[in-house]
Amino acid sequence: MTEIAVGPTGKLMRRDVVKALLENRDGMLAIGGLGAPAWDITAAGDSPLNLPLWGGMGGAAVMGLGLALAQPERKVCVITGDGEMLMGVGSLATVAVQRPRNLSIVVLDNEHYGETGMQETHTKHGVDLVMMAKGAGIADSRLVRTAEELLKLRADIHAGNGPLFAQVKIDEGTQPLVLPPREASILQARMREAIMGPEAHLQ
């Protein structure tokens, strides 16, 4: 099992968090929100089961919803950032109303817009995404600060008792770029093929 280190701020290191969540994933599909979460899921090991986003800011959670509704037998984990989640925060209500058991939304919260010069996000100033998710109706919404809490989160994600929302406080330090393929039609087609086989291309 991946060791989950803490950074200089005493918060969890994002790459370790994502690697732990995706380890022994058993076919779990992952959507990575644009920016650092997309690099994080790629650093954990690029795979057709990964859909790293190069755009669509604010849409990651509902992309996960559409995928989870289409593939109810598969786990779907959306891993995104605090800025991306804040832009589409109404989607928590849309997800909650649909109650997809196989969907988890994990926000890697470094309290900054990391790709644009580390400007502070609202979470730096007390905005509580867990409370917003709870208020939207996602009963299992939790704050994760420690390695122990993260391992519990991992177990619950893999158990499939969603919908589940987690805000994981992470160290704000920037990690080396690990870029996924940028040709988005390939990213889409490879995940479809991983799920449905070659028939996917004849749909």
Partner 1 sequence: MFPANAQEDDMQREQLESAPTAAEAWPDQIYDLLKQHGVRQVGLVPDAGHARLIKRCLADNDMKVVSLTTEEEGVALAFGAWLGGEKSVLLMQSSGVGNIINMLSVAIAHRTPCPIIVTMRGDFGEFNPFQVPMGNATQACLEAMGTLVKRADRPEDVADTVNATLRLAFNTYRPTATLLGQRLLGAKTFGK
- Which residues of this protein are in contact with partner 1, per CB under 8 A? 29, 31, 51, 53-71, 74, 88, 90-91, 93-94, 97-98, 184-185, 187-188, 191-192, 195-196, 200, 203
- Of the pair 91, 123, the CB lying nearest partner 1 is at 91
> Smallest distance, Å, CB 4 to partner 1?
29
CA–CA gap between residue 8 and residue 16 (Å, rounded): 14
3-state secondary structure of 139: coil
- Of the pair 2, 80, the CB lying nearest partner 1 is at 80
Burial class (CB in 10 A: 0-12, 13-18, 19+), 149: middle
> Smallest distance, Å, CB 69 to partner 1?
5
Pairing of strands 103-109, 112-113: unpaired
- Of the pair 97, 159, the CB lying nearest partner 1 is at 97
> Smallest distance, Å, CB 106 to partner 1?
16
Nearest alpha carbon to residue 95 among 109, 110, 80: 80
- Of the pair 13, 92, the CB lying nearest partner 1 is at 92
- Of the pair 159, 196, the CB lying nearest partner 1 is at 196
> Smallest distance, Å, CB 28 to partner 1?
13
Structure tokens at 74: 């598969």
> Smallest distance, Å, CB 168 to partner 1?
22
> Smallest distance, Å, CB 97 to partner 1?
7
- Of the pair 20, 187, the CB lying nearest partner 1 is at 187
Pairing of strands 140-144, 164-169: parallel
Residue type, 32: G
Largest CA distance in the chain: 50
Torsion sign over Cα 183, 68, 22, 31: positive
Does residue 163 have a cis bond before it (omega within 30 degrees)? yes
